[in-house]
Amino acid sequence: MTDNGAVIKAEGLHKVFVDARGEEVHAVRGLSFEAHRGEILGILGPNGAGKTTLLRMLASIIQPTEGRASVCGFDVVREPDEVKRRIGFLSGNTKLYARLTAAETVRYFGRLTGLDDETIRRRTDSIFASLDMEAIRDRRFEKLSTGQKQKVSVARTLIHDPEVLVLDEPTAGLDVIASRAIVSLIREAKAQHKTVLLSTHYMTEAEELCDRIALLHEGVFLAVDTLDRLVEEAGTASLNEAFLRRLEAAGVDLGSANEEAGR
């Protein structure tokens, strides 16, 4: 943890990619923020807003072009191994091994993080019970449904009991039952005083879970505040409407944004 109590701290994060035409794309532009122990910070924004890029920088998967960030006091560029030991990163497009069973997949990731077999067994049993995964324990990943695959991804994210969870749309495309199981685990992480960064398109999910919400558009934060203050400042009755008003003020065509934000 950093000296001022922030578990995650970002200062002026900027990320530039070069597209197929050789042109620069500024995916994230000068983001600064903090997240604290026991806090769920929601990252909301339309497709292409920079959410996944931001989370991948914080997880030490890609490096920022400018700026710096730390997780649990460790620099994401200079100390990536220490950062990765302390986070559980879940992305919607994580690819797992098709021929491994659910249990083998989780055991593999447990060993990657240095856990002994007994700890892996105990943690696997607990997580599988929480996610109702016993029936798929010995089934190959390639034979699982979309929701079951996401549960395996969540299990391997949690196996090393990380201090920080970085979740990129963890319930996208899941049915109600699978979504509720993952939401319950996010709540449990908060109760255990873990720090959670949650990227989601679902406004009701953000309203239900997040202590603070960061509205991201074209790589820039339009606002970072509690749900109550965001709604109050916008003069609306819901986060959905507050979000749309912020986008409208930023010059976004709400004809396309409404489909994205209103789900």
**Euclidean distance between CA atoms 243 and 43, whole angstroms:** 12
Asked, for residue 203, whether it belongs to a domain, the answer is yes
From the list 165, 159, 15, the residue with the least C-alpha distance to 77 is: 15
Is the CB of residue 219 less than 8 Å from the CB of residue 26? Answer: yes
**Mean pLDDT within 70-77:** 97
Domain that holds residue 150: 6-261
Q: Tokens for 206, please give them.
A: 């953000």
Asked, for residue 1, whether it belongs to a domain, the answer is no
Q: What residue type is 131 in one-letter code?
A: L
Asked, for residue 145, whether it belongs to a domain, the answer is yes
pLDDT digits (tens, 9 = 90+) for 199-253: 988 888 999 999 999 999 999 999 999 999 999 988 888 888 888 888 888 777 6
Number of domains, the chain: 1
Strand partners, 75: 70
Query: What pLDDT, on the 0 to 100 scale, is given for residue 2?
Result: 45
Residue whose pair of structure tokens reads 């109600």 in the numeric block: 176
**Euclidean distance between CA atoms 41 and 167, whole angstroms:** 10
**Euclidean distance between CA atoms 253 and 261, whole angstroms:** 12
Q: CB neighbours of 29 closer than 8 A, spacing ≥ 6?
A: 14, 50, 218, 219, 220
- Give the CATH number for residue 243: 3.40.50.300
Asked, for residue 169, whether it belongs to a domain, the answer is yes
Choice between 36 and 176, residue whose per-residue pLDDT is larger: 36
Asked, for residue 111, whether it belongs to a domain, the answer is yes
**262: pLDDT strictly greater than 50:** no
How much is the mean pLDDT over the chain? 90
pLDDT digits (tens, 9 = 90+) for 82-94: 999 999 999 866 6
Please tell me what DSSP assigns to residue 69: E
Q: Tokens for 241, please give them.
A: 């409407």
**Euclidean distance between CA atoms 83 and 71, whole angstroms:** 6
Asked, for residue 241, whether it belongs to a domain, the answer is yes
